[in-house]
Amino acid sequence: MCECFERKSVCWNMINGRECRQIVAETDGHARWFRWEADGCG
């Protein structure tokens, strides 16, 4: 399953959605490295 971040068409399917949310929260929504790994899975 994929999780959307920053309300964008970016998804992350390598780690659990919970971890993703935590990372995004820690990065204050500046987790751009998600886009590199997530080519747009949704």
pLDDT for residue 25: 53
Taking a C-beta distance cutoff of 8 angstroms, is the pair 37, 3 a contact? no
- In terms of Cα–Cα distance, which of 9, 4, 39 is closest to 24? 4
Phi and psi of 11, rounded to 5°? -125, 160
pLDDT for residue 10: 46
What's the CA gap between 40 and 4, in Å, rounded? Answer: 9
pLDDT for residue 28: 54
Per residue in 1-37, pLDDT (tens digit) is: 445 555 444 454 445 455 555 555 565 555 555 544 5
**Global confidence as pTM:** 0.22
pLDDT for residue 7: 45
